[in-house]
Structure 1
Amino acid sequence: MLRMTSTLPGVDRPAAGLSALLKAVSAGRMQATVRELAGDRYAGRRVGTPGGQAAAIWLIERLGELGAATALSGFDVAGVRELYATPVLEWSTSGQAQRLQHRRDFVEHLASADLAHTHSAPLAAVSEADLHGRWVLAGAADWGRACELAEAHGAVGVLTVRGTDAEGWMPKMIAGPPARQVPVIALRTEVHARLAEALASGPVQVTASMPLRQITTRGHNVHARFPHPAQGDASRVRVLLSAHYDGVGDDPDRRLPAAADNASGVAAVLEAARVLTAAPLGALELMVAFLDAEEAGAWGSAHHAPTLPPDTLVINLDGAAQLHEAAAVEAGGPAHALLATLDRAARLTGVPLKAGAMASDNRRYAAAGLAAIGVGMGMPGYQTPAETPDRVQPDTLLTAARLLVATVMLLIT
């Protein structure tokens, strides 16, 4: 397991040249990038949307200003969940109706079939014999069985249970298991309990819609390559800094800014590239990839990874918004030497590290046989309307960008 790092007495101090580079990292510039990408005109940056494509163009322009040769690389993405209207859910008993709030009280289940218009029907417990023409109330453990019964007996759909985050939001996701043949709606735990209690006391009528469809769309990776030594230079070090720029996209009636996940990571990578390319890089071949469709299953990195030379060293940053005790690090592929360099860079810059799961694009690169490390530094408001730019901490942005700069510089010295 990766040990915690710290600035203890006797630990290496950065050389003067590296210290100057670390001081050149600008929190203000990174905050401006986060605010830009979280802005209204990008509409949450979901893959295949005009907002996502506009974000890619904006990033191409910024990388071009740094002197990089840039390109967009397109690829198809299947199975993206698209919520094309605001879902409705209400229930009534004894003539009194209660209308629930989407993303607070209930949310789309990713296995749901499309239900474009509201359908009213009685509610039944999953244990009841007659489910035909009824909504079925199921628990978290038996929702799959409830779907099978609903499909077999002609039920309207299934209501199951799902928790919320600490702030009471039900986060949005756009990739999941195959769709069932019936609508599936997830209720907040407390709402599910109230509904079960009401059903135990008497008849309950449920009215709901779930306008959720699966689409195939087009993703676009942003690639940048900075001037590098001649191809025959045996001392060349090839490094890729990557971060996904896509988000899950806005709801039809609500903004999901995606500031932490992953405008923050993009901002830190962009700033690290700016600082690095202003310095003599010697034998470094520096590449940057801003990846699309991570939220839909890491399709962007899956498309990109097989195209890279086998000696490419990959550092992927997913989340640089709120560092608590330590940055989470996951190494994959032949990454032992790269991990040791990252650990030394963390000691030089005072960044505590811990081994932790980083289920992001780094895994696609590692699966392709590349030395790949994923780094994460927190995502407050993860995939909810509360994921706003003001919650991205300037100190965490500085920490992330400086760690990247220090790691790359140590790789070439």
Structure 2
Amino acid sequence: MTSTAAGLGQGGPDLAALVEAVSATRMHAAVRELAGDRYAGRRVGSPGGRAAASWLAARLGELGAQVQLSEFDVAGVRELYATPVLAWSGAGRTRHLEHRRDFVEHLASADLPHPRTALLTKVPETDLETDLETGPETGSETDLRGRWVLADATTWGRACELAEAQGAAGVLTVRGTDADGWMPKMIAGPPARAVPVIAVRPEVHRHLGEALDNGPVQVTGSMPLRQIATRGRNVHARFPRTETGGHQGGDGHGDGPGGGNARLRVLLSAHYDGVGDDPDRRLPAAADNASGVAAVLEAARVLAAAPPGALELTVAFLDAEEAGAWGSAHHAPAVPPDTLVINLDGAAQLHEAAAVEAGGPAHALLATLDQAARLTGVPLKAGAMASDNRRYAAAGLASIGVGMGMPGYQTPAETPDRVQPDTLMAAARLLVATVVLLNT
């Protein structure tokens, strides 16, 4: 990371002192805490997720903030309630595959709680092009009844329709892995099909196709995946202003911060939820998004100790982002329309530059963020940030999303040791400098 010493003096002595007050040790401790066993991956509605919300509320309260927990309904969360099974046999040999290495739940899968064994078949291209209304007796060359069906990434949807119409056992399709060979976990997706759907990594898909060309293949698979409705819990905090002409106190409601005669409102946000542990494997969610939460929490600590000026600072630690950004969707309509929003999703591994996406009337906010980045030595680039910032922008707020990398994204490899202290420092310093510049 570029040294900040040369540029900070241009922002005044207060800016230099505040930026230097940022602590990597504090942030990494927060990452380790949130990625710990007691929070179990922090999935929305889970005991671990609720415990994380309580921990964050306590930390914000210690900083002098007025804190409120705000709950809301969340539907359609995918819950893997047991470890799925997948094995296949051909040419006298049986291969038992490893969940999240060799295969993974497809989010459109029907629930299949117990292993189902059946022969595997391919769907000929002619069948995929046949109108479903002709039915298997009149239009299909292959009877799929009671069989697992092998489909590729482009034909799996059509294969599912045929499988549903003909009573197939289920569908196997293909999905890639990350650089470490993991298949990331997700908990929000398309509507469920009427048949089980299992995604296998490309090498497994190829081997299945080759084996099927040379003889019969038998597949045994289960997919204990259900959709649940639950409750999310946002953590909102407001840091009262105390200067002459300002105000102190207020109702403390995180869903409606502001009021009085404040001239500027800034909201720093980050989602604290993860996708949750697997039944037999930890998914620590250290990068996504314990890292972003840690940086926002540290920025709030530094800013809370600074002269308040005319700015009202609020913080939102949001739930259910992984399930479809439900937390920010719940919060955004209640935020005062003149609030400036900076959302941080990922602060674990800064490569060439931090990704920045602006939405709503954010031109002035973006210019200040760019100035802060130049002063603190943080390189920026335009990039897609599909996170809570988009919910705030859709509500008409000036909103910027910032991301600084997520190594091991939504896999067991997303551990605290992969969260780089320098990146945490870059993220927190950028937030602090931006808020200070807005306040001058």
Please state which band the TM-score falls in when normalised by the shorter chain: over 0.9
Counterpart residue identity of residue 398, structure 2: A
Per the alignment, residue 145 of structure 2 pairs with 132
Matched position secondary structure for 1:242: strand
- Give the stretch that moved more between structures: 382-391 or 221-230: 221-230
Instruction: Provide the identity percentage.
Output: 81
In 2: Cα distance, 1:232 partner to 1:32 partner: 35
Provide the rounded CA distance (Å) in 2 between the counterparts of 1:222 and 1:12.
Answer: 35
Specify whether residues 378 and 147 from structure 1 end up closer, same or farther in structure 2 by C-alpha distance, changes over 3 A only: same
Kept in 2: contact 1:37–1:263 (CA 8 A): yes
1:70-125 CA-partner distances (Å, limit 9, x unpaired): 01000000000000000000000133210000000000000000000000000000
2:199 corresponds to which of 186, 190, 195: 186
Aligned to 2:35: 38
| Cα pair distance change 1:211/1:412, threshold 3 Å | same
Q: 2:392 aligns to what?
A: 365
1:207 aligns with 2:220: yes
Q: Deviations over 1:315-369 (max 9, x none)?
A: 0000000000000000000000000000000011011000000000000000000
Structure 1 residue 17: Cα displacement: 1.1
2:264 aligned to which of 237, 245, 251: 237
C-alpha contact 1:6 1:347 (8 A) present in aligned 2: no
Distance in 1 separating the partners of 2:269 and 2:171: 40
User: Partners in 2 of 1:155 and 1:6 — Cα distance?
Assistant: 61
- Structure 1: 5+ residue stretches without partners: none
Task: Give 1:130 shift.
Answer: 1.1
- The 5 A counterparts of 1:166-185 are 166-185=179-198
Whether the aligned pair in 2 keeps the contact of 1:329 and 1:354 (CA below 8 Å) is yes
Q: Which residue of structure 1 aligns with residue 407 of structure 2?
A: 380
Q: How far apart in 2 are the matches of 1:331 and 1:84?
A: 38
Question: Per the alignment, in what secondary structure is the counterpart of residue 10 of structure 2?
Answer: coil
1:108 partnered with 2:121: no
Unaligned runs of 5+ residues in structure 2 are 125-140, 248-257
Q: 1:66 aligns with which of 48, 52, 63?
A: 63
Aligned residue among 138, 157, 160 for 2:173: 160
User: Where does residue 23 of structure 2 map in the other structure?
Assistant: 26
Q: C-alpha offsets along residues 39-98 of structure 1, whole Å, 9 cap, x if unaligned?
A: 000000000000000000000000000000101000000000000000000000133210
Verify: 1:334 aligned to 2:334, yes or no.
Answer: no
2:423 aligns with one of 389, 392, 396: 396
Q: Secondary structure at the match of 1:374?
A: strand
* Shift >6 Å, 4+ stretches: 5-12
Shift of residue 7 of structure 1? 7.9
Q: Secondary structure at the match of 1:224?
A: strand
Give the whole-Å Cα distance in 2 for the aligned partners of 1:55 and 1:396: 23
Q: How many residues align?
A: 409
How far apart are the structure 1 equivalents of 2:25 and 2:5?
29
Q: Is the 8 A contact 1:11 1:347 kept in 2?
A: no
Per the normalisation by structure 2, the TM-score is 0.91
Contact 2:11 2:437 in 1 (8 A): no
Q: How many angstroms does 1:284 deviate by?
A: 1.0
The C-alpha deviation readout for 1:266-324, integer Å capped at 9, x for no partner, is: 00000000000101011111000000000000000000000111001000000000000
| Counterpart check, 1:15 vs 2:42 | no
Residue 7 of structure 2 contacts residue 376 of structure 2 at CA under 8 Å; is this kept in 1? no
Tell me, what secondary structure is at the counterpart of 1:360? coil
Question: Per-residue deviation at 1:8?
Answer: 12
Cα gap change, 1:226 to 1:232, in 2 (>3 Å): closer
- The TM-score with structure 1 as length reference comes to 0.97
126-135 vs 323-332, which moves further: 126-135
